[in-house]
Structure 1
Amino acid sequence: MLSGPPPPDQPVPEVVRRLAAGRPTHPMWRNELGGLTFEITVGAGRWFVKWAPPDSGLRLDREAERLRWAVRYALVPPVLDEGADESGSWLLTDGLPGEPAVVDRWKADPATGAAAIGAGLRRLHDRLPVADCPFGWRVEDRLARVRRSAAAGRLDPAWWHPDHAALGVARALARLADVPAVDRLVVCQGDPCAPNTLITPDGRFAGHVDLGALGVADRWADLAVATWSLHWNYGPDWEGVLLAAYGVEPDADRIAYYRLLWDLE
């Protein structure tokens, strides 16, 4: 199963119907693990509910925990409800203003979109307090998971990006063993791909969504993936715009390292 918009006739789980309480409900997204996101119209505003089947491995409780911590410092969705039962788990959040950076408007204006993504990451990294953050996204833990996957035979280069597929498992692991020194430790977004940045109608950063992996790490763990995601959302020419808006020069070695790590996870 690939991620993407679900069909218009996507069945609505019972718990989503209950949370909507008769309000208009629209399917928005289906991820590769079977998780669904719905938009609920609430007067002039909107709520969003994520739902995950019980066997998906998705931990919406972890995202709820991170959102409740981060909302004190950053523009992230407030949690309204969460729970789980035998039919699955759910997370209900209030909507933020703005639209994802990958709607048609910003695809047609990638300079504005890339700049908003960069400015948003800088704001997040500057405002979330590392010393008070109870969540980690450190490279050592991520690399340990990759090595366990390799030992279990679950790494398949056929699924990797063309930049990495020719390496094979052994060479890729060898490259990852050479961990770059930390440039700046921050609280990272954890899934900084372009769709997870919201932009206001006048082109400014509005907030972040999908923070289930939020945690302390080198800032390049976010920046490497954020710039990479521009390639398949806007094209290959916008990395410099994002990094300039963030306020940092490109770091080719750290970018290469963290993209490879992301690909193998």
Structure 2
Amino acid sequence: MPQDRIPSPSAAVPASAQAPRAWQAPLAGYRWDRQTIGCSGAAVYRLSAPGRPTLFAKTDLAGPMCELPDEAARLRWFAAKGIACPELLAQARADGHEWLLLGAVPGRDLASVPPGDPQRVVRIAADALRALHRVDAVDCPFDHRLEQRIARAGERLRAGLVDEDDFDEERLGQGGAALFEQVRARRPRDEDLVLTHGDACLPNLMADAAGFTGFVDCGRAGLADRHQDLALAAWSIRHNLGEAWVAPFLARYGGAIDTERLAFYRLLDEFF
């Protein structure tokens, strides 16, 4: 993320003091800890206080590229569909920033569970995504088909929001403009549309001892090809668990998998 877009509140002033004014009295006594897991463009804080429920606050610069209003809309829709996700407690804009206040999803993210049982992580991730992809999305208002997503990728590139230093190893050194031309040239001819999470990496899937507990960071959820989720989940599994666990994940998910589409959606994700 370019340095002039880092959404963190000023280091000289506690984040709690920069939150929307209406939140400050109800949240008095909470400790705010910045979270570093995951790749969210927003600043994320874990709020904790003795005897009170754990909460999360997210903030980012307001503007056309801010995804927090998108996330709020998707959390409301997910909740209406019975899809496990954070409870949206409050939404506000203050001093040029968007803010969300969220309830905590039980458990830990799948990238942070204690090591020693990668098979369980793979099983939970595959089952959670398969169940999400089976949700009836005929009324889904969030269109993330390729026409929209490629256009959005181009907007982000022109806005200077694509971090070329963070490209996957095999693409380091390639410019964003050249990579965008690859996206356009390699676009699949059709799409296997389902309800997708949009950023289905292990840090965005939660679980406890009993199993899957919910999705977090849902700002890119919408109607898209299922390979959107499978590509990012497979990459995250490779990164966190090792290459050997990608095939078991895809086998557990089931059905025919198009490896070229997996590669394409990983390429497209370089712009997000």
TM-score > 0.5, shorter chain as reference: yes
Give the drift of 1:149: 5.4
Partner SS, residue 15 of structure 2:
coil
The answer to whether residue 46 in structure 2 is matched with residue 21 in structure 1 is no
**Deviations, residues 116-175 of structure 1 (Å, cap 9, x unaligned):** 111111111112x32111111111122223345566787675542122336654366245
Q: Which residue of 1 aligns with 2:43?
A: 35
Q: Which residue of 2 aligns with 1:97?
A: 106
Q: Distance in 1 between matches of 2:247 and 2:13?
A: 39
Identity %: 30
Q: Which residue of 1 aligns with 2:261?
A: 254
Deviates more, 1:27-36 or 1:221-230: 27-36
Letter of the aligned partner of 1:239 in structure 2? V
The answer to whether residue 54 in structure 2 is matched with residue 51 in structure 1 is no
Give the drift of 1:217: 0.5
Contact kept, 8 Å, 1:199 with 1:207, in 2: the verdict is yes
**Deviations, residues 227-265 of structure 1 (Å, cap 9, x unaligned):** 111122222221122223322343211111111111134
Pick aligned residue for 1:11 from 14, 18, 24: 14
Q: Which residue of 2 aligns with 1:165?
A: 172
Letter of the aligned partner of 1:91 in structure 2? L
Q: Which residue of 2 aligns with 1:6?
A: none
Contact kept, 8 Å, 1:116 with 1:242, in 2: the verdict is no
Distance 1:23-1:256 versus aligned 2 partners, 3 A rule: same
Partner SS, residue 130 of structure 1:
coil
**Deviations, residues 85-105 of structure 1 (Å, cap 9, x unaligned):** 115221112222221111141
Give the drift of 1:25: 2.4
Unaligned regions of 5+ residues in structure 1, if any?
4-8
Give the drift of 1:29: 1.1
Q: Which residue of 2 aligns with 1:62?
A: 70
Q: Which residue of 2 aligns with 1:76?
A: 85
The answer to whether residue 129 in structure 2 is matched with residue 121 in structure 1 is yes
**Deviations, residues 178-233 of structure 1 (Å, cap 9, x unaligned):** 3224453111101111100001124x211100001111101001111111111222
Q: Distance in 1 between matches of 2:164 and 2:66?
A: 23
Contact kept, 8 Å, 2:183 with 2:268, in 1: the verdict is no
TM norm structure 1? 0.82
Partner SS, residue 190 of structure 1:
coil
Q: Distance in 1 between matches of 2:66 and 2:195?
A: 21
Q: Distance in 1 between matches of 2:248 and 2:53?
A: 32
TM norm structure 2? 0.80
Q: Distance in 1 between matches of 2:101 and 2:179?
A: 42
Partner SS, residue 206 of structure 2:
strand
Q: Which residue of 1 aligns with 2:271?
A: 264
Aligned residues: 258
Deviates more, 1:146-155 or 1:242-251: 146-155
Q: Which residue of 1 aligns with 2:246?
A: 239
Distance 1:83-1:158 versus aligned 2 partners, 3 A rule: closer
Q: Which residue of 2 aligns with 1:198?
A: 206
Partner SS, residue 131 of structure 1:
coil
The answer to whether residue 228 in structure 2 is matched with residue 221 in structure 1 is yes
Distance 1:85-1:111 versus aligned 2 partners, 3 A rule: same
Distance 1:81-1:232 versus aligned 2 partners, 3 A rule: same
Give the drift of 1:38: 2.0
Matches within 5 A, 1:109-148: 109-127=117-135, 129-148=136-155
Unaligned regions of 5+ residues in structure 2, if any?
7-11
Letter of the aligned partner of 1:18 in structure 2? Q
